[in-house]
Structure 1
Amino acid sequence: MNLDEKLVDMWQNDRNAYYKELKTQLKKQPNEVFESILLIINMFKHSDLSHVFKYLGKVSLEKHSKVQCIFFYLHWLMADTQTYRLKEASIILSKMEEYIDDSTPKALKAEFELKGNARDGEENLENFKKSLSLIPIDSQQYKINLKNLTDSYASGGELHKLELSYLQRLEPEYRNLFLFIDAMERGDTDKALELIDDVMNTMLKLPDPVKLKLNFLKGLLNLYLRQSVVDESFYLLISINSLLNHDPEKALEYAKKFHNHPGKQISVLTNFTRWHLIRTELANKNLSAALRLIGLEKNFSKMNFSSLFYARIELLRGNKEKAILQFANALKLSKDINAMGRFDFELDLATDLTPGKIRFLTEGATKLLAENRINKVKAPVNNVSNVEEKGVEKLKGKSIAIKAVKDEVLKYAPFDIPVLILGETGVGKDVIANAIHEESKRKDEPFIAINCSAIAESLLQSELFGYEAGAYTGAIKTHKGIFEEAGQGTVFLDEIGDISSGLQAVLLRILESGEFRPVGSAKPRPAHCRIIAATNASLEARVDEGTFRKDLMYRLKRLVINVPPLRERPVDITYLAEYYANLNRVSSDPVTFSDEFKQALQAHTWPGNVRELKNEIEKIRLLNSDKPNYTIEQADFLQEKTTDLEKDSPQENVAEPSVEIPKKEDVTQPDQLKRKKSTKEILQNSGSYFRRLEYIKELFTEHKRLTRKEICQITEVSNITIGRDLKKLREEKFIIKMEPTKSARTHYFVLNES
Structure 2
Amino acid sequence: KPADAEALVHRAGTLVTENTVPEIRAHIMRAESIIADIAGNKKRREEILKQIASVLGPRSPRYKFHLWDLIFFLAQHGRAAERQEDIRTLESMCNEHFRKERIVLVKFFNALETGNAIEALQLLPQIETSPHLHRSAPQDPVVGYQALLAMMADRTPRRFPAMTSTAPTWVRVIRALLARDPDEALRLARLDASRHPDALFAAGFHSFNLVRAELAAGNWDAARRLLEMRRERGSCHPMEDFFAARVCLLSGDRNQAADIFARLARRMASLNARPRLGFELDLAVEMKGCDLLDIISPQAAHEEPLAAQQERPSAQTTDRPSASPSPIDSIIGFSESTRTIRELVSKFADLDAPVLITGETGTGKEVVARALHLAGKRADKPFIAVNCGSIAETILESELFGHERGAFTGADRATKGLFEDAGEGTIFLDEIGEIPPHLQRALLRVLETGEIRAVGSTRTRKIQCRILAATNADLESLAREDRFRKDLLFRLQRLGIHIPPLRERREDILPLAQHFLDMGRRPGLKAELSQEAKEVLLRYDWPGNVRELRNVIERMRLMHSDKLSYGVQDMDIKFRPTQLQTAAQQS
TM above 0.5 = yes
Structure 2 residue corresponding to 1:132, chosen from 87, 100, 109: 87
How big is each residue's C-alpha offset from its partner over 1:571-627, in whole Å with a ceiling of 9 and x where there is no partner? 321111111111111473210111111111111112222211222211111111252
| Structure 2: distance between partners of 1:127 and 1:89 | 13
Q: Which amino acid aligns with 1:431?
A: V
| Structure 1: distance between partners of 2:327 and 2:564 | 30
5 Å matches for 1:738-749?
none
The residue aligned with 1:80 is 32
| Structure 2: distance between partners of 1:590 and 1:513 | 51
Residue 559 of structure 1: CA displacement? 0.9
The residue aligned with 1:720 is 584
The residue aligned with 2:213 is 280
Is 2:456 the partner of 1:520?
A: yes
SS of the residue 2:144 aligns to: helix
Aligned partners of 1:594 and 1:629 also within 8 Å: yes
SS of the residue 2:36 aligns to: coil
Aligned partners of 2:529 and 2:565 also within 8 Å: yes
5 Å matches for 1:295-444?
302=239, 313=250, 346=283, 350=285, 374-375=297-298, 385-386=319-320, 391-444=327-380
The residue aligned with 1:671 is none
Residue 48 of structure 1: CA displacement? 5.0
Question: CA 1:262/1:177 → structure 2, altered by over 3 Å: closer, same or farther?
Answer: farther
| Structure 2: distance between partners of 1:264 and 1:612 | 15
Q: Which amino acid aligns with 1:292?
A: R
Is 2:129 the partner of 1:204?
A: yes
Aligned partners of 1:99 and 1:476 also within 8 Å: no
| Structure 2: distance between partners of 1:157 and 1:510 | 52
| Structure 1: distance between partners of 2:458 and 2:237 | 51
Q: Which amino acid aligns with 2:335?
A: S
Aligned partners of 1:515 and 1:527 also within 8 Å: yes
Aligned partners of 1:128 and 1:149 also within 8 Å: no
Question: CA 1:98/1:720 → structure 2, altered by over 3 Å: closer, same or farther?
Answer: closer
Aligned partners of 2:527 and 2:564 also within 8 Å: yes
Is 2:8 the partner of 1:51?
A: yes
Structure 1 residue corresponding to 2:393, chosen from 457, 466, 483: 457
Residue 52 of structure 1: CA displacement? 4.5
Residue 427 of structure 1: CA displacement? 1.5
Residue 483 of structure 1: CA displacement? 2.6
SS of the residue 1:455 aligns to: coil
- TM-score normalised to structure 1 length: 0.59
The residue aligned with 2:310 is none
SS of the residue 1:449 aligns to: strand
The residue aligned with 2:122 is 176
Structure 2 residue corresponding to 1:557, chosen from 493, 499, 502: 493
Q: Which amino acid aligns with 2:340?
A: A
Question: CA 1:457/1:376 → structure 2, altered by over 3 Å: closer, same or farther?
Answer: same
Is 2:584 the partner of 1:584?
A: no
Aligned partners of 1:427 and 1:563 also within 8 Å: yes
Question: CA 1:300/1:311 → structure 2, altered by over 3 Å: closer, same or farther?
Answer: farther
Question: CA 1:80/1:620 → structure 2, altered by over 3 Å: closer, same or farther?
Answer: same
Taking only the aligned residue pairs, the percentage that are identical comes to 30
Question: CA 1:213/1:638 → structure 2, altered by over 3 Å: closer, same or farther?
Answer: closer
Q: Which amino acid aligns with 1:81?
A: S
The residue aligned with 2:169 is 235
How big is the alpha-carbon RMSD for the aligned residues of Structure 1 and Structure 2? Answer: 5.1
Structure 2 residue corresponding to 1:213, chosen from 144, 155, 160: 144
| Structure 2: distance between partners of 1:543 and 1:339 | 56
Q: Which amino acid aligns with 2:30?
A: M
SS of the residue 1:276 aligns to: helix
| Structure 2: distance between partners of 1:365 and 1:473 | 52
Question: CA 1:138/1:238 → structure 2, altered by over 3 Å: closer, same or farther?
Answer: same
Q: Which has the higher contact order (CA 8 A, sep 6+)?
A: 2
Aligned partners of 2:144 and 2:171 also within 8 Å: no
Question: CA 1:158/1:502 → structure 2, altered by over 3 Å: closer, same or farther?
Answer: same
How big is each residue's C-alpha offset from its partner over 1:70-124, in whole Å with a ceiling of 9 and x where there is no partner? x455544432222217658736744753665xx8699959965983895899644
5 Å matches for 1:695-714?
none
Question: CA 1:303/1:152 → structure 2, altered by over 3 Å: closer, same or farther?
Answer: farther
Aligned partners of 1:57 and 1:459 also within 8 Å: no
| Structure 1: distance between partners of 2:429 and 2:18 | 27
Which protein is bigger by CA-based radius of gyration? 1
- TM-score normalised to structure 2 length: 0.73
5 Å matches for 1:502-521?
502-521=438-457
Question: CA 1:120/1:576 → structure 2, altered by over 3 Å: closer, same or farther?
Answer: farther
The residue aligned with 2:222 is 289
| Structure 1: distance between partners of 2:90 and 2:128 | 28
Aligned partners of 2:203 and 2:237 also within 8 Å: no
The residue aligned with 2:102 is 144
Question: CA 1:634/1:494 → structure 2, altered by over 3 Å: closer, same or farther?
Answer: same
Give the number of aligned pairs: 539
Question: CA 1:457/1:229 → structure 2, altered by over 3 Å: closer, same or farther?
Answer: closer
5 Å matches for 1:91-110?
93-94=50-51, 96-97=53-54, 108=63
Residue 516 of structure 1: CA displacement? 3.3
Structure 1 residue corresponding to 2:186, chosen from 252, 260, 263: 252
Aligned partners of 1:409 and 1:435 also within 8 Å: yes
| Structure 1: distance between partners of 2:51 and 2:92 | 28
Aligned partners of 1:624 and 1:634 also within 8 Å: yes
Aligned partners of 1:516 and 1:524 also within 8 Å: yes
Q: Which amino acid aligns with 2:143?
A: L
How big is each residue's C-alpha offset from its partner over 1:477-512, in whole Å with a ceiling of 9 and x where there is no partner? 433333333333322221222223333233223323
| Structure 2: distance between partners of 1:297 and 1:557 | 36
Aligned partners of 2:384 and 2:426 also within 8 Å: yes
SS of the residue 1:492 aligns to: strand
| Structure 1: distance between partners of 2:400 and 2:328 | 27
| Structure 2: distance between partners of 1:384 and 1:213 | 43
The residue aligned with 2:113 is 155
Aligned partners of 2:115 and 2:277 also within 8 Å: no
Q: Structure 2 unaligned segments of length 5 or more: list them.
A: 135-139, 302-314
5 Å matches for 1:674-713?
none
Residue 533 of structure 1: CA displacement? 1.3
Aligned partners of 1:577 and 1:614 also within 8 Å: yes
Q: Which amino acid aligns with 2:483?
A: T
Aligned partners of 1:642 and 1:720 also within 8 Å: no
The residue aligned with 2:433 is 497
Question: CA 1:544/1:136 → structure 2, altered by over 3 Å: closer, same or farther?
Answer: closer
Question: CA 1:79/1:268 → structure 2, altered by over 3 Å: closer, same or farther?
Answer: closer
Aligned partners of 2:430 and 2:469 also within 8 Å: yes
Q: Structure 1 unaligned segments of length 5 or more: list them.
A: 1-42, 161-166, 168-173, 179-198, 354-360, 645-716, 724-754
Q: Which amino acid aligns with 1:276?
A: N
SS of the residue 1:601 aligns to: helix
